[in-house]
Amino acid sequence: MDDTQGTEGSAKKKSPMMLIAGVAVLTLIGGGGGWVLGGMIAPAAPVEEHAAAEGQAGDHGEGKEEEGIPKIATEANGVVLLDPITTNLAYPSDSWIRLEVALAFKGPAELPLAEEIHQDILAYMRTVSLQQIEGPRGFQYLRDDIKERVDLRSQGKVSKVMFRTMVIE
Mean per-residue pLDDT, 132-158: 93
What's the start-to-end Cα distance of the chain, in Å? 70
Within the chain, residue ranges assigned H as helices are 2-41, 47-59, 111-125, 135-154
Confidence check: pLDDT of 34 > 70: yes
Q: Supply the pLDDT for residue 98.
A: 95
| Interval 14-27: pLDDT, tens | 688 889 999 999 99
Percent of the chain with pLDDT over 90: 52
Q: Where are the domains of the chain?
A: 2-59, 75-168
Q: Pick the residue with more confidence: 148 or 61?
A: 148
> Residue 75 above 80 pLDDT?
no
Residue type, 51: A
Q: What is the mean pLDDT of the chain?
A: 81
Return the CATH fold of 75-168.
Answer: Tetrahydropterin Synthase; Chain A (3.30.479)
User: Bridge-partner residues for 166, per DSSP?
Assistant: 99
Coarse DSSP helix, strand, coil percentages of the chain, rounded to the nearest 5 percent:
55, 20, 25
Selected residue with higher pLDDT from 161 and 72: 161
Name the 3-class secondary structure at 108.
coil
Average pLDDT value for residue range 139-155: 94
d(CA 81, CA 164): 9
Say what the pLDDT of residue 65 is.
45
Peptide bond into 16 cis (omega under 30): no
Mapping DSSP to helix (H, G, I), strand (E, B) and coil, where does residue 127 land? coil
Whole-structure pTM value: 0.56
